[in-house]
Amino acid sequence: SQQGEEDPQALSIQEGENATMNCSYKTSINNLQWYRQNSGRGLVHLILIRSNEREKHSGRLRVTLDTSKKSSSLLITASRAADTASYFCATDDARNSGYSTLTFGKGTMLLVSP
């Protein structure tokens, strides 16, 4: 079953603009991760934010986490055509003890036009 729900399902922007994607989840988590997928191939790990963190940055990426609202957002600043991909959030359920598995949302398709 899907844990996270990304919003919007699809996003179309121009190069140079910022892109914001949101993720909501249902259970308590150990951490939340964002992945990128190009053309239905493998997933590329972007960033991991732990449940006791509120914000994290990596290059042009900024992730926030609000555990009280069970939600996260991914901001990509100054987007490029190469950022065109599907973006997924994945949660590591806090009920997992001694092991770690990920539950993914359905993803947001981002299209960045030149």
> Of the two residues 101 and 114, which places its CB atom closer to another protein in the complex?
101
Q: Does 107 contact another protein by CB under 8 A?
A: yes
Q: Please, are residues 45 and 102 in contact by the beta-carbon 8 Å criterion?
A: no
85 makes contact with another protein (CB under 8 A): no
Nearer to another protein, 5 or 77 (CB): 5
**Cα–Cα separations (whole angstroms), residue 55 to 31, 91, 109, 114:** 12, 16, 23, 29
Closest CB to another protein among 7 and 77? 7
